[in-house]
Amino acid sequence: MLTRHQIDYVKLALPKGRLLPATAYLLTEVSLGFENYAQETRTYRLQSTRLPYLSAKMFQEKDIPIQVAIGNYDLGICSLDWVEELLAKYPASALVKAADLGYDKGNLYLAASQHGDISSLQELPPRQDSWRIVTEYPNLAEASALNLRLRKFKTFPVWGAAEVYPPENADLVVLWARDESELRAQNLASLKTLFSTSAFLIANRESWQTKNVSQIIAYLSHGLEMGAKPWSQSKQTLAGSSNGSHPGFSEEKVWLALPDGHQQTPTSEFLHKAGLQLQGYSGDTLNRRPTFNLDWVDAKVIRPQDMPLQIANGNFDLAITGKDWLLDHLYRFPSSPATELVDLGFGEVKVVAVVSQDMPVADIDDLKQLIQASRLSPLRVASEYINIADKYLRDNHVGQCKLIPTWGASEAFLPEDADLLIENTQTGKTLAKHNLKIMDTLFQSTACLIGNKDSLKSSAKREKIASLVEIFRQTVESS
C-alpha cells in the first residue's frame, strides 16, 4: 500500500500597523521571515522564505480574528483585544488562542477625561441622559457597560481617535494603551482595566484539528524560549499625533470636526483659502485639538468615517467629511438629522463595484447569472462601506450573499477572500495594479461640510453655526 505524502498548505494572516515591526522582527529572528513584510510594502501576498507550503497575507489587525474564524486563514497573529472583541459578540467563533507571543503588551481600559466630572465608577455623577461611550471596540464596550449595570448608555463605534472625544464629545472611552502613563499623556484617566493584552498566535479551530502546523509552531516556540527577546523592544513609530492641549470647554462654542488621513492636506489648504488659521493641523505632527483664529470655534481632528454619526447626535456641530461616508450613514439611518450643507468640491473619488480581472463578468447582471448558476453562492462581498454595499446588493436583488466588513486595504481581499468589492478609487490605477477591474460605478464623492438639520433650526448657537457655514460657502463660490 502506498503512503500518500500529503503537504498541508498553510495560510497565515499577518498584521499591518502597530504590531508589524515587532512581528516582522520575531519572524525573521526565528527564521520564519517573509519577503516584503514591511510597513511600506505594496504587495499584500507574501511567501515564506523558508517553508514553501506557507503563505501569508497582510490585513488590518481588526480583520485578522474574523478571517481566521471564518476559515480563510489557518493561523493569524494579532493583539488579544481584537480576538476578545470578536468573542464578546460571537462566543462560538471557531477560534483557538494558540500561544501568547508576549510582545506588544498593553491593556484595554475604560477611561474618562482627566478634566471632566468623572473620577471613578463608584461615584458616577447622577445624570438624566445616557452615558456616551466612544470606542473602536463596540462589543466589549457594550458588554462592560452591561456588567457595570450602567442603566442608560450609548455606544458610538469609531474607526479611530477615540482618545480625543472626552470630555466634550463623549463621557467614557474604551481604548487600548500600553499603560496608565500613556493614558495620562492623552489627558485620560483609567476607571477600570478591562484586561491585559499582548500579541497572540491564533488558529482556526478546524485547521488546528485537521492540519499539521507543528513546524511553524516549533519555530515560534523556539523564539519564545530564547533568553533575549529583542523584538519586544521594537516599537512602531507612526506619524505622531497628540491630544495634549488642555481642553477649554465652552457650551457656546461651535464644534467643528476636521478629517485626518487623505483628506487632511486638501482640507488644510481649503481652510487656508477661507482665511481660517489653524495651528497643529498641517505638517508632520498632528495636534488632534488644533487651535483656531476664531475664538468662537473649537476643532478636533477625528476620522471622516465617524463624523456623520457624531453630527447626528449633536456631539459636533459641523464636520468636513466625504459624501461617501455621509451616504453610508444615511443608508443605515434614513431619518438621521445629519445632512450635507456645502459641497466643498475637492477630494473627488468614485465609489465602484470591483471584481477580479479573471472573473468573466462585465456588469452586475453577468455576476447575478453566475450566482444563479450556483458558481458563486453565496457571493462574498467585502467593503468598508457596509451600508452602501448592503443597499447596492438589495437594489440589484442579490439575495445569496455574505457581507464582510473591512477596515481598510480592502483590495487585498480579492480574489481569495471575497468575490466583490465596494471601494473608492481616484484613478483606478491601484485597482489595476492588484489585477482588479471596475464592474460598476455607484456614485461620485467629494468632500463636503455636514451639519445637523435639527440644531441648525433650534440650537442656541445656530447663528454662529450659520456664519461658519457661510464662510465655507463663500470660499467655494469664490474659487
Q: Which residues bind another protein (CB under 8 A)?
A: 91-92, 130, 132, 143, 146-147, 149-156, 309, 312-313, 329, 332-338
By beta-carbon proximity to another protein, the closer residue of 150 and 409 is: 150
Q: What angle do CA 330, 333, 337 make, to 5 degrees?
A: 75
Give the nearest distance from C-beta 9 to another protein in angstroms: 30
In degrees and rounded to multiples of 5, residue 364 shows phi and psi of: -65, -30
Is residue 278 within 8 Å of 271, Cβ to Cβ? yes
Give the nearest distance from C-beta 47 to another protein in angstroms: 39
All three cell numbers of 48, joined, read 515564506
Give the nearest distance from C-beta 79 to another protein in angstroms: 23
DSSP reduced 3-state for 164: helix
All three cell numbers of 37, joined, read 513584510
All three cell numbers of 308, joined, read 456623520
DSSP reduced 3-state for 465: helix
Give the nearest distance from C-beta 212 to another protein in angstroms: 30
Is residue 213 within 8 Å of 10, Cβ to Cβ? yes
Residue 73's Cα: distance from chain center in Å? 20
By beta-carbon proximity to another protein, the closer residue of 191 and 355 is: 191
Give the nearest distance from C-beta 445 to another protein in angstroms: 20
| Pairing state between β 349-356 and 420-425 | antiparallel
By beta-carbon proximity to another protein, the closer residue of 146 and 362 is: 146
By beta-carbon proximity to another protein, the closer residue of 115 and 332 is: 332
All three cell numbers of 17, joined, read 500597523
By beta-carbon proximity to another protein, the closer residue of 80 and 309 is: 309
Cα 11 to Cα 327: distance, rounded to the nearest angstrom: 36
By beta-carbon proximity to another protein, the closer residue of 127 and 222 is: 127
* Phi-psi map region of 436: left, alpha, beta (phi>0 left; psi -120 to 50 alpha): beta
Give the nearest distance from C-beta 365 to another protein in angstroms: 25
Which residues share a beta bridge with 154?
132
Closest CA to 208 of 113, 120, 97, 114: 97
Q: How far is CA 100 from CA 81, 96, 223, in A?
A: 12, 11, 12
The secondary structure of residue 233, as a DSSP letter, is G
Residue 54's Cα: distance from chain center in Å? 28
By beta-carbon proximity to another protein, the closer residue of 134 and 286 is: 134
All three cell numbers of 103, joined, read 510582545
Give the nearest distance from C-beta 334 to another protein in angstroms: 6
Closest CA to 368 of 329, 395, 330, 405: 395
By beta-carbon proximity to another protein, the closer residue of 332 and 461 is: 332
Whether residue 415 has a cis bond before it, omega within 30° of 0: yes
Give the nearest distance from C-beta 154 to another protein in angstroms: 3
CA end-to-end distance (rounded Å), the chain? 81
By beta-carbon proximity to another protein, the closer residue of 74 and 328 is: 328
Cα 156 to Cα 306: distance, rounded to the nearest angstrom: 9
The single-letter code of the amino acid at 476 is V
Give the nearest distance from C-beta 458 to another protein in angstroms: 16
Give the nearest distance from C-beta 61 to another protein in angstroms: 25
By beta-carbon proximity to another protein, the closer residue of 130 and 479 is: 130
By beta-carbon proximity to another protein, the closer residue of 93 and 215 is: 93
The single-letter code of the amino acid at 212 is N
Is residue 107 within 8 Å of 115, Cβ to Cβ? no
Give the nearest distance from C-beta 155 to another protein in angstroms: 6
Rg of the chain in Å (alpha carbons): 24
